[in-house]
Structures are given as C-alpha cells and as structure tokens.
Amino acid sequence: MRRPLCNSARMPRTCSFLSGAGALALAVLAPFSSAAAQDAAGFQAYLPTLGAQAAAAGVSRRTIEAVLPSLTYNPRVVELDRQQPESRPNAPIPAFAPYRARHVDADRITRGRAVYLRARGRLSAIEQQTGVPESIMVAIWGHETNYGRVMGGFDLPRALASLAYEGRRRTLFTDEFIATLKMIDRGVPREKLVGSWAGAFGGPQFLPSVYLRLARDGDGDGTADIWNSDADTLASIGAYFVDAGWRPGVPWGFAVSVPATLDRRLIANRTTSPRCPRVQGRQSQWKTMAEWRALGVVPQARAWPGDDVLATLLEPDGQGAAAYLLTGNYRVILDYNCSNFYALSVGLLADAVER
Ligand SMILES: [Ca+2]
C-alpha cells in the first residue's frame, strides 16, 4: 500500500526533506505533526476498548493478543472515508452516462462474457440452487473487483480499527473489526485479511460480518476461499442475493421510453426510505407494470414481466435521457451497494454479458 509521505503518522518529518523550504516547511508541519502524533497516541489508547469489546463478543484471548499489539493508526483510510459522498450530503449528483461508459465498457463486457462461458457449468448449478441469474453474479464480480483483478491492499484489522477510532461510523467499523478477529478464530490466516480501505475483501468484496454469515464453499474443498476460488466467489455472491430477497424469474429492470407529456409530479416519490434515502429518493412511486403501460411507458428491449409486478421509474440524467423501470430485484442490487449508478451498471453489464 502506498501512503503519501506527508500523511504518515510515523514519519511526519519526511515532508521537510522534500520541500527544501527549511523553516517555512517546519512551521507548516508543526501543527500537522502534532495532530498526527495525537491521532497515533489516541489510537493506541483506544485499542484496549476495542479489545474489551472483542472479548465480550466472544473473540478468543489468543487472537486479541496476537493482533492488537501489532496495529498502528492509518490516517489514509480516515482521509478516504471523509471523501465519501455521504460525508458531503449536499454535493451535486453527477451524470450517469459517463459513469456507465466507464463501468459498462467493451473490456469489462468482453471479459465478463469469457468468465460467463468459462464458468457456465458452475454458474448454472448455482442459478438452479439460488434462482439468481448467472449474468448477475458475473456482473457483481466484474464491478466489485474487475473479475478478481483488484481486491485492495489495505490491512483490514488496521484499517477497521482506525475507522472505529476516528468515530464517524464507530458502531459499524467496530463490529466489522470484531468480525475480522472472528475470521481468524475460524482459521482464516491473518495475512489473508487484506482488502479495501473500508474493510471489503475478496472477489465479492464482502465485509467481514458478511463473510462470516454468507461466504460459501462453491468448489467443495471445505473452505470458503473468496480470495482465490472463482467458484467460492460466485457461490458466495449467489448466497448474498438469496439472503437479500432476490425473486427468481423477475428481471432487475429494463430501459424504457417515457412520453414527454408524462406529468412527473403525479408519479413523484412522496415517501422517505429509512435505508439509503438519498438513493431511493431519486426513484418514482411504485406502480404495477399495467399501470406504467397505461401511462404510456414503453420498454425498449425486453418484454414486460407480469402485469402485477411492481416497478419504480428512474431517469438518472433527467427527462429526455435514458430511463429505466426497476423491480424489487433492483433493490437487492442496492442492498449489495447502495448506489443507483452501481446498481444500474450491474444490471446493464449483466444484460450485455448475456446478450
Ligand atoms: Ca472452496
């Protein structure tokens, strides 16, 4: 993992060698170094609290004593956490089209098709057991890690303990930190606990608590190795979707054309979702397919699902641009990662891989 030289709590003075500006650099650095030293010290003082919470949650003394003394504060993960959109609730929403072009691109589609064809036997068995379409499992894998290519290089216990210490989402990160220790208790080697700055790891980018609950052994060798085994990765994604309520036989959604005359005020969402309100607030009211058809909404490619299937309308770039009707299965993709752009791109990549 690379860290910016000026951002290391352990070597804060490295910057003065780079700047060459002598006293000025030291004057600028002084308050920063002091803050970094405070964080490093505060983190060490906080570790016994985390250790006590882990012990109370049933983690073995052996694991706690092996891991906690090795941890140091990681300012980089805190910096990344503060860049997240939910830290800036009033930031403008960017356009979907450029995001789609980056995430549902020719390379990802081509390689997704190759994975789809290569793993066909395995995928079809998982689809039979779970009802989750093969292409959706492939698309999640493609989006999360570019089919296992990019799985993150952050040490998870260190990253999660740093985020718990920082405190913006302390409960979440404390629970996930404890879950990493439980993974060690279960026999996962310490050196495997590497992933994204926010604690997700392996091909499906599961959080530790999700791994404990839903990781599956897809190739039958007795372990759920979502780092190295494609079969385990895909079976685990399938298990996640079943757990989150995927309904077999219903598409995630599809592109539609919407009459320019449709009065959007009549279909505006008037409820606030307790979960991801900003994301779900961009979607319309839920209506049946029969009701959408009566409003003049026309599918661009796929046939309609049954008339009684409920769906919501999303026009991510506003009226006159791409529009989608989304079913309850779209909500399952949002459960995996609550972002409209993410969920739309997963659905569109799945369709492209299958085509
Ligand atoms: Ca396995």
Q: Does the pLDDT at position 4 exceed 60?
A: no
Alpha-carbon dihedral of residues 70, 75, 79, 81, nearest 10 degrees? 20
Strands, E assignment, the chain: 154-155, 194-195, 253-257, 286-288, 298-299, 310-314, 323-326
Q: Does the pLDDT at position 153 exceed 70?
A: yes
How many angstroms separate the alpha carbon of residue 228 from the centre of ligand 1?
Answer: 9
Q: Does the pLDDT at position 3 exceed 60?
A: no
pLDDT in the model for residue 86: 65
Q: 10 Å Cβ neighbour count for 39?
A: 18
pLDDT digits (tens, 9 = 90+) for 293-351: 999 999 997 778 889 999 999 999 999 999 999 999 999 999 999 999 999 999 999 99
Measured CA to CA, the distance from residue 348 to residue 137 in angstroms comes to 13
pLDDT digits (tens, 9 = 90+) for 95-150: 999 999 999 999 999 999 999 999 888 899 999 999 999 999 999 999 999 998 99
pLDDT in the model for residue 84: 79
How many angstroms separate the alpha carbon of residue 89 from the centre of ligand 1?
Answer: 41
Read off the pLDDT band of 187 (50, 70, 90).
Answer: very high
How many angstroms separate the alpha carbon of residue 233 from the centre of ligand 1?
Answer: 9
Q: Does the pLDDT at position 29 exceed 60?
A: no
How many angstroms separate the alpha carbon of residue 189 from the centre of ligand 1?
Answer: 15
pLDDT digits (tens, 9 = 90+) for 192-222: 999 999 999 999 999 999 999 999 999 999 9
245 three-class SS: coil
How many angstroms separate the alpha carbon of residue 204 from the centre of ligand 1?
Answer: 14
Q: Does the pLDDT at position 18 exceed 70?
A: no
pLDDT digits (tens, 9 = 90+) for 37-65: 899 999 999 999 999 999 999 999 999 99
How many angstroms separate the alpha carbon of residue 212 from the centre of ligand 1?
Answer: 14
pLDDT in the model for residue 34: 84
154: Cβ contacts below 8 Å, ≥ 6 apart:
1, 74, 77, 194, 195, 196, 197
pLDDT in the model for residue 35: 83
Q: Does the pLDDT at position 268 exceed 80?
A: yes
How many angstroms separate the alpha carbon of residue 215 from the centre of ligand 1?
Answer: 10
Amino acid in the structure at residue 352: A
Contact 174, 53 (CB under 8 A): yes
pLDDT in the model for residue 58: 98
How many angstroms separate the alpha carbon of residue 209 from the centre of ligand 1?
Answer: 18
pLDDT in the model for residue 93: 82
pLDDT in the model for residue 25: 44
**pTM, whole model, 2 decimals?**
0.86
